[in-house]
Chain A
Amino acid sequence: MDFHLLSQAFGTVMLNPMNLLFVFVGVTAGIMVGALPGLTATMGCALLIPFTFGLGPVRGLLMLMGIFCGGIYGGSISAILIRIPGTPSAAATLLDGYPLSQKGMGGKAIGMSTVASFLGGTTGAVVMTFLSPEIARVGLRFGPPEFLALAIFGLGMIITISGRSLLKGFISCLFGLLITTIGFDPLSGVPRFTFGSRDLLGGVTFIPALIGLFGYAQVFRNIEKMLILPTVKAKVENILPTLKEIRAVLKTIFKSALMGTFIGSIPGTGCDIAAFVTYGEAKRTSKHPEKFGTGILEGVAAPEAGNNGATGGAMIPMLTLGVPGDAVTAVLLGALTIHGLQPGPLLFRDHLDVIYPIFAGMIMAQVILLTVGLSGARFFARTINIDRKILTPVIFFLCVVGSYAMRFSFFDVGLSMVIGVVAYFMEYYEYPASPILLALILGPMAEQNLRRSLIISHGDPLIFVKRPISAAFIAIALFVIITSYYRIKKAAEKEAQMASVSEKEETD
């Protein structure tokens, strides 16, 4: 860690009003996107990447990181007020947030969520700042077998958490990897699966695929459910929690923040898992576990500190090893490459001018999140009331613009829409989209390093287990996949039992 560079980076971010403005715009947009049910932080980043094309890499990334942090926090607002988590990571927050809202303490719950998000996010950002350069130093020693093992590890992790079926997660992942083989072969330059189309020579571009998977698919679902979803109204009063209330949950906040950061830093996990694990842990270690779920501030503070801590954690593997921690960081990784930067250990050697402002920006984003969150809570609560019949067409339009803007290509718009239709059906048949996204990122890395390793070893596949780091990554991935298989099997058996009981009751 170079403190001189870090202080310079803080100067760059804080003393330049334009940089601060982009963080502010990102955080505000993120909170709004997060607060609106049906719009996730992933979707927000995907839709807003095109708006960063004209900015430099630092400003573009500052804005996107603002959206990331704001989006994760924003999800808690709708979770607390209307019992619909704005983002999946806020699902744990509603367990105590909504009961608080029913007691007339919705404003206070949002206030506590803001403070916990700030403290959690700051912890995550500080850990990221100090840990990333060290991990990158280790990463510099990685060769092709280690990078392949890392890709397998990342893909394996996301498959295990993406749904009720491991098999369907695998199929999604393989489908995503197959998509990455379209276009020029990275090693030989031979065009593959292009069928004579010039538009496909460069492969399926990341942004249209991303917007298809997370933008169009969601828009199609929103249009389909337009008349089914109930209209909701939300309002807040009394936001600021007292010092006494904050002090009472401070220990929980810091414990959850550190746990969240650690969970977020494991590739493929992300903020949703961090929120549930930290909520469970807070309940387990509480003196009054029976009060959880009835509407207590600790039940809001724990998952919010956890999921915001995970934002910084998820950035660590993305920046240092080029393996995203979750779907949003996969989008950020894509954004980095669009701005001409290749995430991974070399980023810490060749682009310190970008890395340190990212660290500083992440910490600044938390301060802005606290300010904007507390002062604008009433406004953000009102955004939940925006008519869906107006909002959905606008998002539909942003999907069109976003998929067009990368290469000014109507082919990309069409491709993106087709991917959106596929993703729309995939959701209904429980094929998760996140493994496809991660496969799009890690596919080229996996292919190149697999082939390079085999060329180096003269075709001996044992090269992947002979090297300790590579063997360790593969062993952990296998362990997690096997344990997940049994966990999912157990859950499915329980579900089937409950279904048969309810069927029996119906026939009786």
Chain B
Amino acid sequence: MKRANMTRADIAVGTGVIILATWVFWYSNGYRGTVIYIYGPNFFPQVLSVLMILCGVALIVRAIRGKALTKKDRIDRKGFVRTVIAIGICIGYLYLMQVIGFAMGTSVFLFVLMTFLGQRGLVKRVISSIATSLLVWAMFRYFLVIPLPTGIFDFTF
């Protein structure tokens, strides 16, 4: 059962690699006429795509011959859903940060993510999220002098 899973994955990846490499080879042909010498911008990507096609074929052949690796670890489904939601929260944070600013957006993001991951102590969550965001914000703002999004609270700092 486990071996079958990896076999299917290997065949799928091998096919994907061949398709990608074939496309790279074809697309790189467009760079052929851009320079006068033979070993132009198309040369290296095309060398790579040929090697990738060979690897893709080898991967499929090995999988069909039953030589695919057995899986050592499996993706936990519930955990995977948790990861996807966490990524969603992060994407929301990237938009929020541009509206309400880096420091405030980060505090909200950390608090929400800690709550989502099951941290129950309210004081711990509040203190660690505010302290982390302010510390990093201050370090970037005053020490490294790297601009961070200020959002609508531009006037604050």
* A235 proximity list for chain B (CB < 8 A): none
Say how far A142's CB is from chain B's closest CB, in angstroms.
20
Cβ contact of B76, chosen from A185, A228, A397, A459, cutoff 8 A: A228
Q: Does A382 contact B (CB under 8 A)?
A: no
Q: Does B55 contact A (CB under 8 A)?
A: yes
Q: Does A400 contact B (CB under 8 A)?
A: yes
Residue-by-residue, is B23-67 near A (CB-CB < 8 Å gives 1, otherwise 0)?
Answer: 010011001001101111101110111011001101100100001
Near B by CB (< 8 A), chain A positions 163-194 give 164-165, 167-168, 170-171, 174-175, 177-178, 181, 185, 187-188, 190, 192-193
A53/B117 contact (C-beta < 8 A), A397-B110, A454-B39 known: no
Say how far B76's CB is from chain A's closest CB, in angstroms.
6
Q: Does A281 contact B (CB under 8 A)?
A: no
**Would A499 and B110 count as touching, CB distance under 8 A?**
no
Contact residues of A: prevailing secondary structure: helix
**Would A495 and B70 count as touching, CB distance under 8 A?**
yes
A178/B69 contact (C-beta < 8 A), A167-B55, A223-B83, A417-B90 known: no
Say how far A451's CB is from chain B's closest CB, in angstroms.
4
* A496 proximity list for chain B (CB < 8 A): 70
> Could you say which of B41, B90, B147 has the most chain A C-beta atoms within 10 Å of its C-beta?
B41
**Would A393 and B43 count as touching, CB distance under 8 A?**
no
A185/B41 contact (C-beta < 8 A), A220-B83, A390-B114, A417-B87 known: yes
Q: Does A408 contact B (CB under 8 A)?
A: yes
Residue-by-residue, is B105-136 near A (CB-CB < 8 Å gives 1, otherwise 0)?
Answer: 01001100110011100001100110011001
* A225 proximity list for chain B (CB < 8 A): 76, 79
**Would A447 and B69 count as touching, CB distance under 8 A?**
no
**Would A429 and B117 count as touching, CB distance under 8 A?**
no
* A15 proximity list for chain B (CB < 8 A): none
**Would B69 and A400 count as touching, CB distance under 8 A?**
no
Q: Does A455 contact B (CB under 8 A)?
A: yes
* B55 proximity list for chain A (CB < 8 A): 167, 170-171, 174
**Would A53 and B146 count as touching, CB distance under 8 A?**
yes
Cβ contact of B79, chosen from A171, A187, A224, A431, cutoff 8 A: A224
How many contacts between A and B, using CB within 8 angstroms? 165
**Would B119 and A390 count as touching, CB distance under 8 A?**
yes
**Would B117 and A393 count as touching, CB distance under 8 A?**
yes
Q: Complex Cα distance A181/B42, Å?
A: 10
**Would A447 and B44 count as touching, CB distance under 8 A?**
yes
**Would A165 and B69 count as touching, CB distance under 8 A?**
yes
**Would B128 and A390 count as touching, CB distance under 8 A?**
yes
**Would B48 and A396 count as touching, CB distance under 8 A?**
no
**Would A401 and B140 count as touching, CB distance under 8 A?**
yes
Near B by CB (< 8 A), chain A positions 389-420 give 389-390, 392-394, 396-398, 400-401, 405, 408, 410, 413-414, 417
**Would B27 and A193 count as touching, CB distance under 8 A?**
yes
* B86 proximity list for chain A (CB < 8 A): 220, 223, 396
* B138 proximity list for chain A (CB < 8 A): none
Cβ contact of A389, chosen from B98, B114, B147, cutoff 8 A: B114
**Would B44 and A450 count as touching, CB distance under 8 A?**
yes
Q: Complex Cα distance A51/B139, Å?
A: 8
Q: Complex Cα distance A392/B100, Å?
A: 23
Residue-by-residue, is B133-157 near A (CB-CB < 8 Å gives 1, otherwise 0)?
Answer: 1001001100111110000000000
Return 23 A-B CB contacts under 8 Å, by A number: A53-B144, A54-B144, A167-B58, A171-B17, A174-B51, A175-B52, A178-B52, A190-B34, A190-B35, A193-B45, A223-B82, A224-B80, A225-B79, A226-B82, A228-B79, A389-B119, A394-B128, A396-B86, A396-B113, A397-B133, A400-B93, A447-B44, A450-B47
Residues in chain A within 8 A of chain B (CB atoms) = 50-51, 53-54, 164-165, 167-168, 170-171, 174-175, 177-178, 181, 185, 187-188, 190, 192-193, 220, 223-228, 387-390, 392-394, 396-398, 400-401, 405, 408, 410, 413-414, 417, 421, 424, 428-431, 447, 450-451, 454-455, 459, 492, 495-496, 499
Residues in chain B within 8 A of chain A (CB atoms) = 6, 9-10, 13, 17, 24, 27-28, 31, 34-35, 37-41, 43-45, 47-49, 51-52, 55-56, 58-59, 62, 67, 69-76, 78-80, 82-83, 86-87, 90, 93-94, 98, 106, 109-110, 113-114, 117-119, 124-125, 128-129, 132-133, 136, 139-140, 143-147
Extra contacts besides A174-B51, A190-B41 (13): CB < 8 Å: A167-B55, A170-B55, A181-B44, A188-B34, A188-B35, A190-B31, A192-B31, A220-B83, A228-B76, A396-B86, A410-B94, A431-B13, A492-B67
